[in-house]
Structure 1
Amino acid sequence: MNVTLLPGKQARVMDDELSSVILGPGVAAQAAYRQAMEAAVAMIAENASRHSIHSGVNADGLRGFLAALEVCPERGTGVFAALEEIGIPAVRHALDVGNPATMAHLHCPVAVPALAAEVLISATNQSLDSWDQSPFATLVEERVLAWLTAFCGLSAEAGGSFTSGGSQSNMTALYLAAERHGAVARSRGVIFASEQAHFSIRKSASILGFAGDAVIAVATDDEGRMSAAALRTAIENATGHGRAPVAVVATAGTTDLGAIDPLADIADLAASHGLWLHVDAAYGGGLLFSRHRHRLAGMERADSIALDFHKMLFQPISCGVLLLGDGANFSPLATKADYLNPEVSIFGDVPNLVESSVQTTRRSDALKVLMTLRSIGCEGLDALVCKTLDNATSAAEAIRARAYLHLAQQPSLSTVLFRYVSPHGAERSDELTLTIRTELFRTGVAALATTVLDGRVHFKLTLLNPNSTPDVIGRVLDAIGDMARELENDHVRT
């Protein structure tokens, strides 16, 4: 790739010239920035578009390339040479998350307005731990959070904080719940979550110092939703055994089945027992921005809500948010730091966002959310989200139409679980499912996930891309059938 260098400059910048070109805000640095951005965009345009989901180079090949690369040479190569050496392979060998056949995980294609915002976020490098480090960005987050809490149906006293994602949101919520219950929370406290709840609930409880058996798994129904009756029984049993119920975690969109727990019923039980209600809507929260938002009725009664914009809402990683029904409940995170929050603010009435976050340095992710919402609007988001749900429904129909496949259940959101049915039994089906998943990825045909449901290995489609249309899904299902037949024939011959 040809790259025009700065007039009169070499790719290698020496000594006293370095800061004027590598660091802003001078004319030379601005020109270098523009050229570097144009080169990076050109690399993406020239190398990202392909029919396969990845380059096909395996881990050993990539590791060998990186091992031969001198990480920090005595003399720098200059930005354009470094882009040639590192940028091109970084794009070529990345998973193509925008490819419609990339459907393994909760890993979405990204919206162009958010990508444009990422340039602004990186270039301005604001830090949201104090207003004087991020004057506009701080107020953007304040404005977006105020809008978002109202949009979710929370009261005027609600508050929020942007996070790295659902795991951090869940841990922060459980920390705040434990603080409200005092010392007893760690010694005798218990947390109720469904059998299908995200693993970060148990991990967070462990990190926060809860007992090893503190997270009580509540039974789910045939569709993977928490049973309200089983929750009631679990609360009564824990209380009867001298445990101290602290919180209930309801899931709005389980990772595998996309199940949405009965939020209103769970809210009733949490209120009647004085428990903190946390709703993990990191996945299913995207329904809020669609005509299907009624499926989240009852979520507005939660003490805390986790939402991820980097799942159903097309934002670059990372972009999560934790909302509290009462912003005053963030108070346990308010730690005094003279260099950040002086006793009397010298800047007047400005937000102090560090007091509502477990992080200190934090980037201005709210800007890309604002840029996307303004650009696409409610109608556009509704159309995109609904298209992913429609694709999942079509996938289920296509699976039912193929005798060699078995659908686990009708999809609830945009995940679809199904099995390959081998004539040689369930164990052979499990074996071939894993083999086919590997082969589809190796050959660049598709990225599918596998998971275990009812003790058996299942394929999992995660259809977060509106462009994963029925024709794309049909080609992937046909590829599964072709590979399975070939492997079955080889099995018979041997």
Structure 2
Amino acid sequence: MSHDLHKRDTIDQVPPEPCSPEEVALKSFFLGPQSENAPWLRELVMQILDNWFAWRRLLYPADGRAISVADQESTRFLAKREDFRTRIYELMQRFQNEMPSFSPRYIGHMLTEASMPALLGHIITVLHNPNNISGEASRVGIEIEEEAIHELMKMVRYQPEEGNGHFTSGGTLANLESCLRARGRMAKWLAAGAAARAAGRNIGLMEAAHMGWEYYDRLRVDDRMDDDLLVRFNFLKSGALRTVREYEKLFGFPYEGPVALVPNNKHYSWNKSIDIMGMGEEAFRGIPTDRNGRMSVDGLKKELDRALGEKRPVMMVVSIAGTTELGDFDPIHEVQHLLDTWREQHGLHIWHHIDAAYGGFFCTLDIDKIDLISQSMTEALKSMHKANSITIDPHKLGYVPYSSGAILCKSKREYFYKKTHAPYINFRDAEDRGPQTVEGSRSAAGAVSTWLTARSIGLNRAGYGIILERTIRSRMKLESLFAEASVRLRVNPHAETNVLCFCVADEGDPLSIVNRRTQAIYEAFSPDENHDFFVSKTSLGRNDYKAFLDDFTSGWDAVQDAGELSLIRLVLMNPFFDNRETDVYYPEEFVSKLLQFLDTLE
């Protein structure tokens, strides 16, 4: 065992600086690890319940009671009530064994303490139980969803009056919603191009698939294309096989369908989306990552050139803002610049979607003043508003209860991609969200929770910006403690948000040994049972992260005897992890426990 493993024990304990007034104020929005704000939360919950009780009593007071005092005093009623109480007690006892994700000791997955505004918004919504499918089932819920979507759009610098969106059950569904809209747009453009070709215009398939709305609108007017004509050439209306035969006859070559370009650092939900879309695995083309673990823009350019050469329309290009494994941002600004260049030079309009399920709320950072993030991430955040669509998960860095995701579209025209008729639902107008959502029935809880947090905490620099800046500083603090503790602690050198990944390696260690050591650490701090801390584990495969792995593992001259590298993954979302008032200072405590465990492996 190397001597430096015990260096942590000799670090001088310097009293930390007190919290700023702004940070102290933000503590009012969380219950606290020891339920410090419980009296206030209890008061608010009782006010909510009393208000709900009164609303029910006073709405139709002349109706009279349905449950009499005699009913409530009957033997069978009382017996059932006691049985019910027993079941409630049983359920509460079972949840005593649930994951303590509220605790600063939970630094595993992208899950943490929910804010009190979010909890209370969720409770209020559950009590009233609106269904945001339409105004017939939700009067207030759909209004609040509209306002909450506007808050999210302003956060990412979309113009609410120009775009639209809706809440989903999470990022997986929001990403699928973006695929459907990108495909729907391409289907319309291809249909117009095919109709124009049939009418004698010299338009190619790639030009048609990426023509842009201005050319589409002009074609429809100039060639007098009505909806009935376009249905014949729309593969979503007339069937893919029949339409492909039309395309091949008109354009004169075998048509193999569109492709989607998604970086290899993607979330696994993208594989689901492509499966659901029925595009086939070969149409799902991965973009290599660079030495930082982010999308390679050179790799993207090669795939765009390849698609152009193969005459395969590009349905969409996806960038990631906050990758699942490393928490980092793709160079969104460079991706957007490349797509803008293609539009200007080739006349090809390509849908750009940003999967910001995790990283979207970093838009609240004061990026012009803080020096915590890279220039690339700064430029990426500034460029997000240029993309066609964005996925955001309030149930991650929005500190909102599950499940709450959202799809945002920059353009209303691209959001409202289809018409749906349901004879038993009265959709109010052309801009009703109901016909546009994959889910039919939708709870308003995610929208209301997001609305209340946005209006109370603030999706701005003075609210969420301070909270998320604090979490980034937590990662930086832990990195510095790792550096002081041992040279064996190998930390991802390119981290820039609040996710820290590391492994333990001696000079010359093969990947197989490092991976076994990572597995042992994971089991010692796994979520299977209560430990001093809880961590997660990820594996970076050589096929997806070759440049990153070559660079990272060269730091200890690793023997490349495995196809992947396993890393301990710490998600430092909890706003109290770097707390200055607790008796335990969590960053130092975690390093101490980690070093103690490593001693046992020697």
Code of the residue aligned with 1:406 in structure 2: it is R
Matched to 1:397, the amino acid is S
Question: Do structure 1's residue 277 and structure 2's residue 361 form an aligned pair?
Answer: no
Greater shift in the superposed pair: 136-145 or 329-338: 329-338
1:416 to 2:500 alignment:
yes
Alignment of 1:122-201 (within 5 A): 122-155=126-159, 156-182=161-187, 183=235, 187-201=256-270
The alpha-carbon deviation at position 30 of structure 1 amounts to 13
- Structure 2 counterpart of 1:445, from 532, 543, 548: 532
- Matches of 1:152 and 1:351, distance apart in 2: 22
In the TM superposition, residue 328 of structure 1 has moved relative to its aligned partner by: 2.1
Alignment counterpart, residue 357 of structure 1, candidates 405, 420, 437: 437
Q: How many Å separate the matches in 2 of 1:440 and 1:263?
A: 35
Following superposition, the deviation at residue 353 of structure 1 comes to 2.1
Say which is worse superposed, 136-145 or 150-159, in terms of deviation: 150-159
Pair 1:30–1:148, CA change in 2 (3 A)? farther
Structure 2: distance between partners of 1:28 and 1:118: 28
Residue type of the partner of 2:303?
A
Q: Distance in 1 between matches of 2:101 and 2:67?
A: 32
Alignment of 1:456-475 (within 5 A): 456-469=565-578, 471-475=585-589
Residue in 1 that maps onto 2:48: none
* Distance change >3 Å, CA 483–CA 181, structure 1 → 2: same
Task: Classify 1:302/1:82 alpha carbon distance in 2 versus 1 (closer, same or farther; 3 Å).
Answer: same
Query: How do 1:81-120 residues align onto structure 2 when only pairs under 5 Å count?
Result: 81-90=86-95, 92-120=96-124
Secondary structure at the aligned position of 1:298 is classed as: helix
446-455 or 456-465: which moved more?
Answer: 446-455
- SS of 2:85's equivalent in the other structure is helix
Structure 1 residues 435 and 26, CA, compared in 2 at 3 Å: closer, same or farther? farther
Which residue identity does 1:128 align to in structure 2? N
Answer whether contact 1:131 1:350 (CA < 8 A) is retained. no
SS in 1 for 2:397: coil
Map of 1:50-449 to 2, 5 A cutoff? 78-90=83-95, 92-155=96-159, 156-182=161-187, 183=235, 187-271=256-340, 272=343, 273-292=348-367, 295-341=380-426, 345=428, 352-364=432-444, 365-377=446-458, 378=460, 379-403=462-486, 404-422=488-506, 425-426=509-510, 427-441=512-526, 442-449=529-536
Change (3 A) 1:27 1:116: farther
Aligned-partner residue type, residue 421 of structure 1: A
CA distance in 2, matches of 1:270, 1:350: 31
Structure 2 contact 503–567 (Cα < 8 Å) conserved: yes
Separation in 2 of the partners of 1:327 and 1:88? Answer: 48
Question: SS of the residue aligned with 1:278?
Answer: strand
**Alignment check: 8 A CA contact 2:136 2:426 kept:** no
Aligned equivalent of 1:479: 593
SS in 2 for 1:188: coil
CA 1:27/1:366 → structure 2, altered by over 3 Å: closer, same or farther?
A: farther
Deviations 1:175-199 (A, max 9, x none): 1111222238995211111111111
Give the drift of 1:75.
7.0
1:228 and 1:410 mapped to 2: Cα distance?
A: 17
Q: Which has the larger radius of gyration?
A: 2
In structure 1, C-alpha distance between the alignment counterparts of 2:321 and 2:451, rounded to whole Å? 23
User: Per-residue deviation at 1:333?
Assistant: 4.3
The verdict on how the C-alpha distance between 1:151 and 1:26 changes in structure 2, with shifts beyond 3 A counting, is farther
Give the 4+ runs in structure 1 shifted more than 4 A. 24-31, 74-77, 184-187
CA distance in 2, matches of 1:232, 1:26: 71
Q: What residue ranges of structure 1 are gaps of 5+ in the alignment? A: 1-19, 32-73, 489-494
* Alpha-carbon distance between aligned partners in 2 of 1:275 and 1:396, rounded to the nearest angstrom: 39
Distance 1:397 1:242, change over 3 A: same
For residue 231 of structure 1, report the CA deviation from its aligned partner. Answer: 0.8
Instruction: State how far apart, in whole Å, the 2-side matches of 1:398 and 1:113 are.
Output: 34
In the TM superposition, residue 481 of structure 1 has moved relative to its aligned partner by: 1.8
- Percent of aligned positions with the same letter in both sequences? 24
Query: What CA distance in whole angstroms lies between the structure 1 residues aligned with 2:112 and 2:419?
Result: 34
1:203, distance to aligned residue in structure 2 (A): 1.8
Change in CA separation of 1:126 and 1:245 when aligned onto 2, cut-off 3 Å = same
Q: Which amino acid aligns with 1:157?
A: E
TM-aligned CA distance change 1:434 to 1:351, over 3 Å = same
Q: Which amino acid aligns with 1:96?
A: P
Q: Which residue of 2 aligns with 1:55?
A: none
One-letter code aligned to 1:143: E
Amino acid in structure 2 at the alignment position of 1:329: E
Letter in 2 for 1:290: L
* CA distance in structure 2 between the aligned counterparts of 1:395 and 1:289, rounded to whole angstroms: 23
Structure 2 CA distance for aligned equivalents of residues 449 and 143 of structure 1: 35
Q: 1:314 to 1:277 in 2, by over 3 A?
A: same
1:308 Cα deviation after fit? 0.8
Structure 1 residue identity aligned to 2:85: F
Q: 1:195 to 1:157 in 2, by over 3 A?
A: same
Partners of 1:30 and 1:254 lie apart in 2 by: 57
Task: Please give the alpha-carbon distance, in whole angstroms, between the structure 2 residues aligned to 1:29 and 1:367.
Answer: 31
Question: For residues 371 and 464 of structure 1, what CA distance do their matches in structure 2 show?
Answer: 20
CA 1:111/1:339 → structure 2, altered by over 3 Å: closer, same or farther? same
Task: For residue 417 of structure 2, give the secondary structure of its aligned residue in structure 1.
Answer: helix
Amino acid at match of 2:419: A
Contact 2:163 2:415 in 1 (8 A): no
With normalisation by structure 2, the TM-score equals 0.65
Deviation larger for 457-466 or 259-268: 259-268
Give the letter for the 1:160 counterpart. Answer: G
Unmatched tracts of structure 2, length 5 or more: 1-56, 70-78, 188-234, 245-254, 368-377, 541-548, 550-563, 580-584
- Comparing 289-298 with 389-398, which one deviates more in the overlay? 289-298
Higher relative contact order (CA 8 A, sep 6+): 2
TM-score by length of 1: 0.79
Contact 2:106/2:112 (8 A) holds in 1: no
